[in-house]
Every structure is written in structure tokens, then in C-alpha cells.
Structure 1
Amino acid sequence: MASQISQQYAFRAQKSLGLVGGTPNYEANQAFEQPEATARTYNYSPDGRLFAYALPTGVRIFYAESAEFLRELPIPNVVEFKFSPRGTYMSTWERPVKLEDGAQNKNLRVFSVSTGEELASFTQKSLDGWDLQYTMSESHAVRLVGHDVQVFHPAEWSKGVVDKLRVEGATNVSLSFGLNPSLAVFVAEKNGQPANIRIYSLLSLSSPPTCQKSAFRAEHAQFKWNDLGTQVLVLIRTDVDATNKSYYGETRLYLLSAAGNFDCLVSLPKEGPIHDFAWSPNSKEFSVVCGYTPTKTVIFDQRVKILHDFGTAPHNFIAYNPQGRLLALAGFGNMSGKLDIYDRRKLEKVTTIDAPNTTTCEWSPDGRFLLTATLSPRLRVDNGIKIWHCTGPLLHVHLVEELYQASWRPTPIDSVAPFPQVIPTAPAPSASVADNSAIVKPAASKPAGAYRPPGARGLATPSIFLREDEGGAVHSPSNGAATPPRQYNRSPAPGPNGNGNGHHPNGYRADRGRRHVPGAASPSPVRHAEGEKRGKKRKGKDDKKKAGSGAATPVVVEDGVAPPAALDLSGLQTLPAGENSEVPPTPGADGALDPVAKKLRNLNKKLKAIEELKEKAKRGERLEATQVKKMEGEAEIRQELASLAASP
């Protein structure tokens, strides 16, 4: 029965709010009264006895097990509320407003859950750290106001502040669990003074602190006490990393003992930020996920000695199950969503769960199940809840549009059946898994392959740009051998005409030291003709200058090669033209392009473009009107090409 109770979970969405039972049926509690308006938030009491949600008109409280309505607190505009550890009191926070006389309203109120009576009220401007902190027995409650830590007796709210601790510059306080509660206070660094962490005994605040630690480069602090309240982990953080290695600032972790007999900086095995850390429920060890990605996860004992190193992996989340037998390591957010479950006793991996797009992950009170959820507005797609067995199988899928909140119902550890010695097998999944199989198991993605710019991603990519494995032509050197190394011998070799235009034995052309690949076609004669034309122009200008000065024009031989005007082009011939091939232009008498050859080249270009348009049309691609008109002129172009070819 206890295990069945522990499986209840709650969810809150834009259009729905509900309580759902656990294994094996996962049925919604039909007795639960759905609100007529969208709920702003919900909370269970820490002992799991009560459930409440906030509406714009007030807060409604129910018994969690039976969903029976208990009472409503008519407090409008409640933004947040919380229960005390035993569910005796409820604190509510409203947005602060100024009264007509200019005073600030008392927006933090404390109510009795059993009677609905308002017991105390305070002014609390900030939502950060707004709630009072209670001891487990609810004998004391504390809150930080300015530089003062105020202490109350909840059984006697009318007496007001019964004790006070003044700490200059205090920005954060944390009350421990356990029978002998302690109070940790953080003072941020200011004006060159180092930050300070102090621990006091709650029952003797007037005494000096039992433990004290100073630290530089510390602007914020996060406290995590072990369940016994004997030691506390303090995560120190700065907004800016002095080494400029991390965008998220600099982090360090300290371990302090409430008794004052031990304190130290936790030496981490990998450089980088601290992503997550957690105490084991046995209060004798803790785990840390640290370092730049891929991160490293390690387990430390109470004296900060490494007990086990899990190696590097893309993790940024860690959580023990309530019994401390299993350990969940995962990479959420900007990581892939892989969730690894380890057996803490054997330090062996139990399974790996693929839970992409997870924004919240939580162990069930009996330690056998994991709840993962994709929440809005963090992610607005695939919103819903998934429940997994600790051995890996997916047991339940609950898709909810615009899901805001999801969590298990808390259950005290002594009310839950102990975790078995052998990890239990998974029960049969609910029908929801089969109903949502298409969503739960997306199709396997294809390999990304080589990157291509957007303009080259269509089906019409020319074959010349395709690799061999994509259907492109097989690449091989034209001479059937590997490409020879470059040669840099710039001495010319005599050509057949004795003019220095021959080929060097090592494959290097003698025409002004230009490199020539063996087997490749000879350079086009147009280049020589254009070079001859430019040489004539330069020579004419030089002759005019020399004539003006009365000096003779010398003939300059560069690297043993005559200038372009002295080249003999009589031996050059044009290549024969095919039907769809480009015809190399032939030089005219004055060195310009031959008009007929130029016309043939242009017509062949048009025919080639028409052939490409035909291929696109065969593939079913949509053509523009101008492209269709261009295809209709093919016959006219071929007729003109035939007439030019027939002319002498």
C-alpha cells in the first residue's frame, strides 16, 4: 500500500490540472476537482499529506490521497506558497504594492492550515529566498531581514521575534535538518574584503560561530546540508570568470562541518565549472559533476577523499534515489539527454535511458521509478511526462499540451517499503506507451554527411560537384599516375622551333616558367594572341617614348625568352568542334577573336543550357516562363548552327 501511495504524481498545464495514480494503471483521480481557471502553481506538503494549488482568487487545499477538499484561503493574487515540513502552516507571497499612505503592504503571510486563520504577516519585496525556513519539528522558524536573522516560535506567532542574530553583509542563510539544527550564513565579498561563511548553533545564536571559512572571488552561495545536518556543501560562484575560460562565471565547492572540526576546499579532478552536486541519503558521501564537457563525475567521502571516478561523459545532472542504492547521471539542456543509471553498491551501470528534451527529472519516493518531463516555456514542443523503470523500460507516457509543472507526491522514507537487495524487474508498461509509440520512438536520423551550402542542397546539383559516393565521376589523374610533385626549375627548354616554347623533361613548361601538368591540354592559343596584342601596345608606347628621346629601342630577352611579339604562332591549330562542344576561338589577322568562331561558341552555350533545362523538366522541377521560352527556341538555334557549319 505504501508503494502504491508513493507513485502518485501531479501535473499542471495551461488548460488542465490533475492527480494521477501510479503503477500499474496510471489512472487519473476522478474525485479531484478541476479548477475553472488556470492554476498559477501547486505544491504538496513535504510529508505528502496535503495538496494545494493557487488561483487568481485564492488557494485551495486538498487531501492528496483522497483528493477531498479541505478548505480555501481567499487571498487574491498569490504568486507562490509553501507548506511547513509537517503541513501545519502555509506561507503565501503576493506581489508587493504600496498602500495609500505610502507604506509597503505585508505581502508575506502565514496561515494555519487546519483553521485558515492568518497567524503572521511580513513585508518581503524579493521573491528570492522569500519563505521562512522551519526545523523538521517546526519548533523554530527563521528569516533573513537586512542584516538580521530573525527567529520565531511557530507555536507562538503572536510573540513575534524571539531571538535575533545580526551579521553585517549577510546575503543568504540556510537552516539544517536533524535534531540539532544549525544555521549557515553567507557574507559576500565587498570593498576588497573576502567573503565569509559562518555556521551557528540555532539554539545559541549569541555564541561565536562553530565554524568559519573565508573565500575570495565569491559573490553568491548555494547551501546543501546532509540529512543528518552535520555537514554542509557550499557552492561559491562569481558572475565573471577571471580567467575568461567560462561564460557562466567561476565556481568552487567547500565542505564545512557544523561542529567546526573540519572544513576544506573540495579539490576537483578536472578543471572547469561545477554543474551539479548531491549528498547521498546516508549522509556519508557526496557526488560532484565538474569540468568542461565532457564532464567528470566523482564520489567523495566525508573527508573529501575520492571513492570512485566514473570517467568523462556528457553529464550535467546527478541524483541519488531516496534509498541511496541507485545513482542517476544525465546530460540535459544543451546535451543529448542520455540518462545513465548506476548501482551504487557495485558501481556498475544498470542501464542507459534516452530521454531527449528533458527539463525536469525526479526519483519516485520508493526509488524504483524516474519521472522525466518536458515543460513549457523552456520547450514548447513535445510537452509531457514519461515514467521509466530503474532498469530502463518506459512504463507510461502522458502527453499534455503546454505543460508547466510535474512532480511526484512526497512520501516519508519510513512510510515506503525498503529497496530490495536485488534490483527489481520492470512491470508491464501501460497502454499509453503503445498508443504514443510513434512519438516516443522517432525515426532514426540519417548520417549528416559533408556540409553543403543551401544553394547546393537541391536534387539538381551538377555531377561535377558530387563526390564519388554520391554519383559523381571517378577522379583519376589524366596520365594514369599520381600527380607529380611540383618542380621549380625555371630554366627554359628549347622548343622544336628554337624559340623556347618547348616542354621541359620534368614537366615544367618553358614559357616564362609556367608550370605544366603532364598529360594536360596545351594552353589555348588565345592566351598567346592576347599576350602578343598587349606586347604590341606596350612596345608601341615604349617606341614613342624612345623616339621622343632619340634613343634606339633595345630588344629585351627575359629569362632567355623572346617578348610576345616575337612568338611564332604558325604551328598552332584549332580543335575540331563537335555538335554540343565549345569551339575554341581562332585568332584573326589582327589578333582579335574570329566572329564565326565566337558565334559558334555562343550557340553551343545556349544548346548546353537547354539540355540542362530538359534534365530539370524530366526530374519534375518547376521551370520559369523564361526558361520554357528558351527551350522552345532550340530548333532555331540548331538551324543557325547548321548554317554556320556549312558556310566556308
Structure 2
Amino acid sequence: MASQLSQQFAFRAQKSLGLVGGTPNYDPLDSFQGPDVPARTYQYSPDGRLFAYAVPTGVRIYQAEGAQLLQELSLPNVVEISFSPRGTYISTWERPVKLEDGAQNKNLRVFSASTGEELIAFTQKSQEGWELQYTISESHAIRLVGQEIQVFRPAEWSSGVVDKLKVEGATSIALSPGLNPSVAVFVAEKKGQPASIKIYSLSALTGAPTSQKTFFKADRAQIKWNTLGTHVMVLTQTEVDQANKSYYGETGGLYLLSAAGNFDCRVTLDKDGPVHDFAWSPNSKEFVVIYGFMPAKAMLFDHRAKTLHDFGSAFCNFVSFNPQGRLVAMAGFGNLAGKVDIYDRRTLNKVTSIDAANTSHCEWSPDGRFLLTATLSPRLRVDNGIKVWHCTGPLVHFQPIDELYQTSWRPIPVDTVPAFPQNMPPCPPPAPSVLQHVDLAKPVPANRPAYRPPGARGLEASAAYKRDEGTPSGQSTPNGRYSRSPAPGRPTNGKRHVPGAPTSPSPVRNGDTEKRGRKRKGAKDKEGGKKEGAAAGQEPVRPSIDIQVNGQEIPASPVNDSVPPTPGVDAGLDPIAKKVRNLNKKLKAIEELKEKAKKGERLEATQLKKIESEAEIRKELSGLGISS
């Protein structure tokens, strides 16, 4: 049946739940009828055969291919559901409540997916890490209870715990995939004792660990096994960053261990900052790490932590291989712009860049040809929806959905989908939904050049930005004579040019200019300059200045000193005239205050003091020979 599975994805929103077919039309599955009430969660089985969702009254299990209802579990208050690897068992979790006798209810239950029979139940207080972990063959299942690892045989649930191991201080566990499963156990740092990661063989759980490593700065850990279950990566973090460089704690280190115990090391990262993300390749022989302060570095390592390729620095914090391991997506989500770069692992060249702004969820399709991105609530409550992109960049499907909470591809075993071709597969035509949003379908150029102004490119500015000399706005620069610095890259004839300064040499000072300079120093020179200028019958003229426009020197017209000064400028007043003018201003202000007082308005103390100074001001004016 697995070979007949078709491409499909599901979504859950505040008011809807649906199944949608894949390429080419992305039509909703008509045979599936969503619930009348909001769904709390949904889940596909790892093999893609089954689909289940939880509503306030219970859990419904469907055959994913035809959306046929198989079972309905009358179980209220279910918050989480999870399938075993082959879809044989389904687990549910409810919020813990106390019974009348004070005992905790058994809120973790395991059912047969085919019959709906309850097989076993447990008490599980924490929602984090609530689900059982199964081996790939479903021969064993494990769970962490306090500091004890309990092992069950799903074929014999009634037998209860068949094996167990107590590890002092254990806070999390991870069961490996593969034919020879191992259990990675993380022990957090406590009371000055270092943290540790220990690996046990599931077949000899009570024996000594096959591999272990200790380290500091580790309050919690993220554990990722490779597909074969031969190596495990452990990222340690602290709850509090002592250096105050991050709100989310400090990255302790990234460690690589083999399950057999013949290799372990700390992965060497050559840039300071946190580890944002890391991911194993499906071939289990290499992995990518994104690390360092922004812009972060992306590095490809082999299974011995040796560097294979440096992808460079970019604003990214997410990495994911497609299921075939041929393509790698690196993106910046969260508080970053949402740009997704896709690389070909074979050539290590960038295939394309995608602008997926405001993305909350990103996932490769099972055939490795499409990338699903979604904007989810409550991370962002506007512009919620699903976008499907082809691996070469174009948008092929867009589905806006209000208050979208969850979406994911239907899993399909990689050995049942067509192999990824040697060359990049052609992009199918976009679905009708994309044609309604044409602006979203434009791919981002792989290398967008930096902006350079027209002058730096040896071009003239657009005519739309040139001043029209026939309009009033153009008259502020008569005859177009304004100074402009030469454009970058333009020849300057070997002369050094200072922006804003005239390009011609300073003119030689003549007698007239020297006289004008002396006029500023004293009244005698000023009077003498006037007499000599009048005797000569000439008016002093300012030196001409050459002005550059578009790289050409244009001599400016000489400006006559006889031009009257601008009104309001005090350059032409002598000190006595200035003083008289200021005293008259004060008298005028006093008269205005007197008028206010006559009208009965209340005056401030400073205003009254100003009125009292009237006699002193008039006396000062009389001393200057001005009658008031």
C-alpha cells in the first residue's frame, strides 16, 4: 500500500481542518469532512497510512489516502496524540487532574489504531516529552519516569515493564533509529557536578554505557541521532547566559559521539556565538551547523567532525536536508527576513533563493522537490497561510487561511517515491491560486547587486530628477550654476578636489579686496576705503569663481558689491544703529505691556520689572542723541 501513497498535506485552523492534494492542482480532498468544532491537534502516522485529529469529545482516526473513517475514540479532553512508527498504536495525552481520592488520573493512554482498544495507561504529569519512544520495528517502547528508564514490549503490553535502568539525574532520553537501537541519556549539571551524555545499548540496558562524555555549561540538551543510529549529536545549553549576551541562555557546546564508543569529540566552531541549528544528512555521514553571531556561518562536516565545506556567512538560523539528501535549505526565520537559500549538495552551488517572509514552519516534501512554508498563529496573527515552492524557486501554490495553527506534509517512506533526478527537475506550472497572487510568484534573484548611483556608473541622472530652469523651483540656482562634486571615477585632471570647494585656484588679492578686508577691522579703514573707491570712480568687484557642472568648468558672473543687503541682515548697520534699534524694540514691548495692564490683564513679575525700566531706556536713547 505504501507504494500507492500520493502527495498530500494537512492544515488545522481556528475554524477549519483539511486535507489537500499535491501537484498539480492542490485541490482539497472532497471525501474528507472536517469536524464541526475546532480541532485541538492532528497527526499523521510516520508511514503515512493514517491521519488522526482530536476534538473536545474524542479522537478520530482516518485512512489518509481516501479519508475513510476507521475508528473514533470517545475520549474527552485529549490535548496531544502520537502514532508508533508503523501506525499500529496511537497514544493520547490529557491534562492531569486529581481524582476524588487525591490520586492522579492515568492521562497517557495507548490504543490499538485498528480496533480502538485501550492497551495500557500511565500517569504523565509533564507535557514535554510525554510520548513513548518506539524502535523502528515496534519491538520495544521506552519512557522516562523520574530518573528511571522503563522498557515495554508493545506486543505484550499486559506484561508491563520488561526492563528498566535508573540513571541518577537523568532529565531527557532519545532512542535511536536503526536495527540496533541505543538510548542516549542526558544528565544535567547540578551542584557543581558536570553534566554528561551516556549511551546504552537497548539490548543490554543494565550494562555499562557504550559511550559517554562529560561537560560543563549544560542545563538542558538537544539530542539528534543520524538515520542509521550510529552517531548522535548533542547541543548543550544553559538556562541563563552569565555574559548577558542572550535572553535564551548560553550555548555550552556541540558534541559528536558514536554509539559504539570508538569516537567522541567537541565540534570545533570558529566563530563566537550560539549554535542556531544543526541537521544530519539522510546519508548519516555528514551534517550542517549554523552558528555564531549574525550574520551566522554555515559549515558542512563529516561524521568525524572534519570540515567539508564553508557555505559562508548569512542571516540564517534554520537548516534542513531534503529526504534524499540532495538539497539543503538554509533560512532566516523568527526575527530575520525569511530568505531561504537552497544549495545543491552535489555541486555545493546555490540553486535559488526564496523570499518567504514571516515564515513560522518550513518543511520539505517527501519527494524532495517542493518546500512548504507557512505563517502560523499565534506567532503572527495576520497574513496566515501556506505556500508551496518548487526547489528551483517558483511559487507553485498559495493558500491563505485565517488563524492557521498547524500544517505538515503527509509522510511517505523515501524508498517508495521516485528517485531525485541527476539534474534539477523542471518546475510544474503554478496552481490557479498563484495566478491570483502574481506578485508572490516572482523569485528573488540569486545575487542581487548593490545599488550604485548613476554618477558612479558613468551615467547621467534620469531626466525626471533634473531641475526645470523655467519653473520657480529652478530659479534658486540662476543659470544652472551650482557647485557639484565630480562623480566617483570621473577624471579630475590630476587636481585634488575638496567637496564643496571651488575647483579653480584662489584668485590673487588686489588692492580693493584688501581694503574690504580692512573695513571689517575698524571704522577709520572703512571710511578711507569708501573715499578711495569713490575717487577712483570704480566699484569694488568680487573675484570670479569657476563652478563645475557635470564635470565642466563654467565661469560665474562677477557679483557687484553694490547689491543692497538682504532685508533683515545686520551686516550694513554700525554698532550705534544696532543699539538704537534694540532699544526701540524694548520700548515697543513695554507699550504693549502697558496696553495689557489697561485692559485688566494680570502681568508677571518680570513683565512689571520691564515696565519699570522704561525711564532708563529713554535716558539711554537721549544719551545717543535720539529723541524718544
TM-score range, shorter chain: 0.7 to 0.9
TM-score in terms of structure 1 length: 0.71
Distance in 2 (CA, whole Å) between partners of 1:394 and 1:477 is 50
Judge conservation of contact 2:174–2:185 (CA < 8 Å) in 1.
yes
Judge conservation of contact 2:395–2:440 (CA < 8 Å) in 1.
no
Distance in 2 (CA, whole Å) between partners of 1:597 and 1:479 is 44
Distance in 1 (CA, whole Å) between partners of 2:249 and 2:416 is 42
The equivalent of 1:38 in structure 2 is: 38
State the AA in 1 paired with 2:302: D
Judge conservation of contact 1:183–1:202 (CA < 8 Å) in 2.
yes
What displacement does 1:576 show? 8.2
Q: 1:477 to 1:290 in 2, by over 3 A?
A: closer
State the AA in 1 paired with 2:36: E
Q: Does 1:85 align with 2:74?
A: no
Q: 1:597 to 1:191 in 2, by over 3 A?
A: closer
What displacement does 1:587 show? 5.8
Q: Does 1:62 align with 2:51?
A: no
Distance in 2 (CA, whole Å) between partners of 1:443 and 1:187 is 45
SS of the residue aligned with 1:593? helix
What displacement does 1:65 show? 0.4
State the AA in 2 paired with 1:142: I
Distance in 2 (CA, whole Å) between partners of 1:15 and 1:430 is 24
Query: What is the correspondence of 1:213-224 to structure 2 with a 5 Å cutoff?
Result: 213-224=213-224
Judge conservation of contact 1:300–1:307 (CA < 8 Å) in 2.
yes
Judge conservation of contact 1:6–1:416 (CA < 8 Å) in 2.
no
Distance in 1 (CA, whole Å) between partners of 2:205 and 2:397 is 50
SS of the residue aligned with 1:65? coil
The equivalent of 2:94 in structure 1 is: 94
Query: What is the correspondence of 1:46-57 to structure 2 with a 5 Å cutoff?
Result: 46-57=46-57
The equivalent of 1:124 in structure 2 is: 124
What displacement does 1:335 show? 1.3
The equivalent of 1:179 in structure 2 is: 179
The equivalent of 1:105 in structure 2 is: 105
State the AA in 1 paired with 2:39: A
Alpha-carbon displacement from aligned partner over 1:240-262 (angstroms, at most 9, x marks no partner): 23344333322211001110000
Q: 1:348 to 1:595 in 2, by over 3 A?
A: same
SS of the residue aligned with 1:157? helix
Q: 1:11 to 1:4 in 2, by over 3 A?
A: farther
Unaligned 5+ residue runs, structure 1?
450-462, 484-491, 503-517, 520-574, 604-647
Alpha-carbon displacement from aligned partner over 1:129-184 (angstroms, at most 9, x marks no partner): 01110001111110101111001111111111111100011000110001110001
Query: What is the correspondence of 1:335-484 to structure 2 with a 5 Å cutoff?
Result: 335-438=336-439
Distance in 2 (CA, whole Å) between partners of 1:203 and 1:482 is 92
The equivalent of 2:549 in structure 1 is: none
Q: Kindly tell me the number of residue pairs found equivalent between the two proteins.
A: 505
Distance in 2 (CA, whole Å) between partners of 1:336 and 1:434 is 24
Distance in 1 (CA, whole Å) between partners of 2:568 and 2:525 is 36
Judge conservation of contact 1:97–1:104 (CA < 8 Å) in 2.
yes
Alpha-carbon displacement from aligned partner over 1:442-473 (angstroms, at most 9, x marks no partner): 999xx9x9xxxxxxxxxxxxx99xx99xx9x9
Distance in 1 (CA, whole Å) between partners of 2:127 and 2:279 is 25
State the AA in 2 paired with 1:372: T
Q: 1:100 to 1:293 in 2, by over 3 A?
A: same
The equivalent of 2:584 in structure 1 is: 595
Q: 1:593 to 1:49 in 2, by over 3 A?
A: same
Judge conservation of contact 1:279–1:286 (CA < 8 Å) in 2.
yes
Distance in 1 (CA, whole Å) between partners of 2:370 and 2:281 is 18
Distance in 1 (CA, whole Å) between partners of 2:586 and 2:215 is 85
Q: 1:598 to 1:59 in 2, by over 3 A?
A: farther
Distance in 2 (CA, whole Å) between partners of 1:56 and 1:259 is 46
The equivalent of 1:25 in structure 2 is: 25
Distance in 1 (CA, whole Å) between partners of 2:124 and 2:224 is 24
State the AA in 1 paired with 2:276: H
Query: What is the correspondence of 1:227-266 to structure 2 with a 5 Å cutoff?
Result: 227-251=227-251, 252-266=253-267
Q: 1:306 to 1:76 in 2, by over 3 A?
A: same
Judge conservation of contact 1:19–1:32 (CA < 8 Å) in 2.
yes
Judge conservation of contact 1:586–1:594 (CA < 8 Å) in 2.
no
SS of the residue aligned with 2:227? coil
Q: 1:177 to 1:576 in 2, by over 3 A?
A: same
Alpha-carbon displacement from aligned partner over 1:396-422 (angstroms, at most 9, x marks no partner): 111111111111000011111111122
What displacement does 1:228 show? 0.6
Judge conservation of contact 2:483–2:500 (CA < 8 Å) in 1.
no
Query: What is the correspondence of 1:150-229 to structure 2 with a 5 Å cutoff?
Result: 150-229=150-229
Q: RMSD across aligned C-alpha pairs, in angstroms?
A: 3.8
Distance in 1 (CA, whole Å) between partners of 2:578 and 2:230 is 103
Q: Does 1:148 align with 2:137?
A: no
What displacement does 1:578 show? 7.8
State the AA in 1 paired with 2:410: R
Judge conservation of contact 1:2–1:417 (CA < 8 Å) in 2.
no
Unaligned 5+ residue runs, structure 2?
446-450, 454-471, 485-498, 507-517, 529-541, 544-562, 593-627
Distance in 1 (CA, whole Å) between partners of 2:409 and 2:431 is 18
SS of the residue aligned with 1:155? helix
TM-score in terms of structure 2 length: 0.74
